[in-house]
Amino acid sequence: MAPDRPLRILHCFRSPVGGIFRHVRDLAESHSRAGHAVGILCDSTTGGEHEDRLFDEIRPYLSLGLVRLPIRRSVGPADMGALWEAYKTIKSLRPDVLHGHGAKGGALARVIGSALRVNRYSVARLYTAHGGSLHYSRSSPSGQLVLRVERFLEHLTDALVFICDYERETYERKVGKPRTRTRLIYNGIDEKEFSPVPTRSDAVHFVYIGMLRDLKGPDLFVDAFAKAERKLGRPLSALMIGDGPDRDKYYSMMVERGLGKRIGMLPPMQVREAFAMSENVVVPSRAEAMPYIVLEALAAEKTVIASRVGGIPEALGRESAALAEPGDADDLARVMAEAIGRAGWRDEAMPKPEAIRSRFSASVMARDVLKLYYELIDSRSVR
């Protein structure tokens, strides 16, 4: 296929929240502006008003449409109905590219793409894990099952896209050395995001922004906040901005510890609005791939305090003083206390915006992904 011929590209993923949704929106807008037809297929039961606004923003770029079906997080009998509905929809859209994101989206794209191939319909099948199933442990029965399924699905995959070195290394360690084409393409952010966000006069000391679920570490944030107060010997202030299945649990945790008046909770909002709430953004995740919140905060010239997980050290620097040990509230509290208690700490710990811009660019990400699409379509594997 000539590289100037427009493609029909369909992205499949489960949950329209967080980094996966951001990644797909960026690709969809860039590729649509370049003249390609793009669509999205995702879960209909996840997200709220904030995600609805994001869909409204991206809808003009989705000439193949937005398809939302009930796609559950866990595997069960209901998946068969969703798979059949997705197959009929995708077949009618006749995509050149099926790009799956996350475990469920990756399975849908590759299984349905392979079914179309059986019927002599040529379609490229790609998978980007975004962490997903790679968070599972090889030592658990459920982890063994999930990782074996990943290995099997390689047979239905034309290319694996890794969004950071950590993800590629984790895949090789847990699933095995890939037996299909692979490509490392970093997450990227738009040029307009590389500008400082002024901090409000009523700002708090720390802000957590993201999904309210244990994997992302909001409980560690609350625990570390209380310990940082004790280290500094004075009361502090914080905000948790986001929503998720464990919100009520974290609220109860704060109330029980007497922190209800010093840690506020706000619903999801535009990320740059959230950045104005504090100079210090805390990312206490137990597991990650390459979270956009870190890249966005660094581009906004905020101080980022984060767990040493996933690709975060690739952005902050592998020896950065801003990295805390994963799952360790004491170490996170130490870093939080140093960040606001020691003059000059930020200048020592944070990478320069120019270093982030040169490595994590949305235009480079979109270009390299599109180049891979054309390579696959032109190769024998999708003829």
Per DSSP, the three-state class of 158 is coil
Residue with tokens 């499949």: 12
Q: Which amino acid is at 221?
A: F
Q: How many helices (H) and strands (E) are present in the chain, helices listed first?
A: 15, 13
Q: Which amino acid is at 160?
A: L
DSSP β-ladder status, 97-101 and 124-128? parallel
Nearest to 298 by CA among 204, 197, 160: 197
Provide the mean pLDDT of the chain.
Answer: 94
Q: pLDDT value at position 353?
A: 83
Q: Give 205-235 pLDDT, tens digit per residue.
A: 999 999 999 999 999 999 999 999 999 999 9
Q: pLDDT value at position 29?
A: 97
228 neighbors 305 (Cβ within 8 angstroms): no
Per-residue pLDDT, averaged over 27-38, amounts to 97
- Please count the other Cβ atoms lying within 10 Å of the Cβ belonging to residue 33: 11
Q: Give 178-211 pLDDT, tens digit per residue.
A: 999 999 999 999 999 999 999 999 999 999 999 9
Q: How far is CA 126 from CA 40, 150, 174, 332, 382, in A?
A: 14, 13, 19, 37, 11
Q: pLDDT value at position 23?
A: 95
Q: pLDDT value at position 71?
A: 87
Phi, psi of 60 (to 5 degrees): -60, -20
Which residues have C-beta within 8 Å of that of residue 189, sequence separation ≥ 6? 26, 292, 295, 296, 299, 360, 361, 362
Structural domains in the chain plus CATH codes: 8-188+361-382 (3.40.50.2000), 192-359 (3.40.50.2000)
Q: What's the pTM?
A: 0.84
Per DSSP, the three-state class of 78 is helix
Per DSSP, the three-state class of 211 is coil
Per-residue pLDDT, averaged over 359-380, amounts to 93
Q: pLDDT value at position 55?
A: 96
| Confidence class for position 382, pLDDT limits 50, 70, 90 | very low
Quote the CA–CA distance of 332 and 320 in Å, as a whole number: 13
Q: Give 106-162 pLDDT, tens digit per residue.
A: 999 999 999 998 877 889 999 999 988 998 999 999 999 999 999 999 999 999 999
Q: pLDDT value at position 76?
A: 67
Tokens of 6: 């427009």
Quote the CA–CA distance of 24 and 185 in Å, as a whole number: 13
| 70 pLDDT above the threshold of 70 | yes
Residue with tokens 């475990």: 103
336 neighbors 224 (Cβ within 8 angstroms): yes
Quote the CA–CA distance of 219 and 133 in Å, as a whole number: 22
Q: Is 104 left (phi over 0), alpha (psi -120 to 50) or beta?
A: alpha
Nearest to 159 by CA among 118, 135, 124, 185: 124
Quote the CA–CA distance of 300 and 278 in Å, as a whole number: 12
Classify residue 318 by its DSSP letter: T
| Confidence class for position 354, pLDDT limits 50, 70, 90 | confident
pLDDT more than 90, % of the chain? 86
